[in-house]
Amino acid sequence: MSVNIFVLFGMGAGVGFLSGMFGVGGGFLMTPLLIFYNIPPAVAVATEANQIVASSFSGALAHFRRGTVDIKLGTMLLVGGITGSMIGVAIFSSLRSAGQLDLIISILYVVFLGTIGSLMIVESLNAIRKNRGNSDTPTELPKQYTWISNLPFKMRFHKSKLYLSVIPVLVLGMLVGVLASIMGVGGGFIMVPAMIYLLRVPTNVVIGTSLFQIMFVTMLTTIAQSATNQTVDIVLAFILMVGGVIGAQFGAQAGQKLKGEQLRALLGLIVLAVCIRLGWDLINMPTELFSIGGGAGH
């Protein structure tokens, strides 16, 4: 395929800048961008998983040095993640041979980006309004006595000061693993809120622990995708990695100068824009109705 190295590097740097600025992984923006740039979705997804290995590795390393990783909780999430990743790669292969992979990737993105983008905008607008109005009332988490605390197979996680059932941990890890292999994302945008609101993990270990899980799940996904679908483009991944790590540095500096609520509203708008573009491609009649694919893959 003939693509421009500098465009790809720029995309890596641009998404890296945003992920550094907002503290998000960026896979959920990078994969749609690659698809818009006519990289086959199958290749975009598998290659993006490879890129996330690099960004999550350096992130997880920094958190590990600071001691903000709950290894035990991360390992349990990982057990679920490995299972999910294997299921995801199998689903990926069968969708691909049925010719429906591109469609499912687009639909999943429209649903997830639409939901998350809307939530971010609503949440940040509320925060901005609250700041303008009277005093800041700290949003308190509801008490922990939810259905989750009634589940069996409880386990003690010292670092997180938690005593909770492994079932929601395994299920969450698995869900994120499936998404990682089908959508080419780390899954932090689901795992972080779920860990905070459902599992009550202390916020200081949430990011490090989720990066720990994402790093290993994307490693496994990269290897599994390469072995079963041969869809990892090592050169493309490397260009994106280098662009990504450089962009993230500048993004992190820029992020410190801007206000949190405005940042989240801005990211919400970007996420919604990508969602609308993908959704438009689904409902708009394509100029070319036909497509060709190899019988045994390219």
Options 10, 58, 118, 119; binder of another protein; rule CB under 8 A: 58
Name the residue nearer to another protein (CB basis): 73 or 215: 215
Name the residue nearer to another protein (CB basis): 118 or 228: 228
- Give the nearest distance from C-beta 153 to another protein in angstroms: 32
Q: Report the b/e string of 256-284 with b at 16+ CB within 10 A.
A: eeeeebebbbbbbeebbebbebbbeeeee
Pair of tokens at residue 263: 């940042």
3-state SS assignment for residue 281: helix
Q: Which of 182, 181, 186, 179 is nearest to 53 (CA)?
A: 186
Q: Which range of residues in 28-36, 55-63, 74-82, 268-276 is near another protein by CB under 8 A?
A: 55-63
Assess contact for 183 and 108: CB atoms under 8 A.
yes
- Give the nearest distance from C-beta 248 to another protein in angstroms: 8
User: Which residue type occupies 124?
Assistant: S
Q: How far apart are CA 86 and CA 88, in angstroms?
A: 5
3-state SS assignment for residue 100: coil
Assess contact for 47 and 184: CB atoms under 8 A.
yes
Instruction: Write the CA distances from 109 to 21, 28, 42, 241, integer angstroms.
Output: 22, 8, 14, 22
Options 3, 57, 123, 204; binder of another protein; rule CB under 8 A: 57
3-state SS assignment for residue 3: coil
**Contact letters for another protein, residues 83-122 (x by CB under 8 A):** ----------------xx-xx---x---------------
Binding status of residue 141 toward another protein by CB under 8 A:
no
Binding status of residue 283 toward another protein by CB under 8 A:
yes
Count of residues interacting with another protein (CB under 8 A): 51
Binding status of residue 146 toward another protein by CB under 8 A:
no
- Give the nearest distance from C-beta 55 to another protein in angstroms: 6
Q: Which positions from 185 through 244 interact with another protein, judged by CB under 8 A?
A: 219, 222-230, 232, 234-235, 237-238, 241-242
Q: How far apart are CA 267 and CA 191, in angstroms?
A: 18
Binding status of residue 151 toward another protein by CB under 8 A:
no
Binding status of residue 38 toward another protein by CB under 8 A:
no
Interface ranges with another protein (CB under 8 A): 1-2, 50-51, 53-58, 61-62, 65, 99-100, 102-103, 107, 219, 222-230, 232, 234-235, 237-238, 241-242, 245, 249, 282-286, 288-296
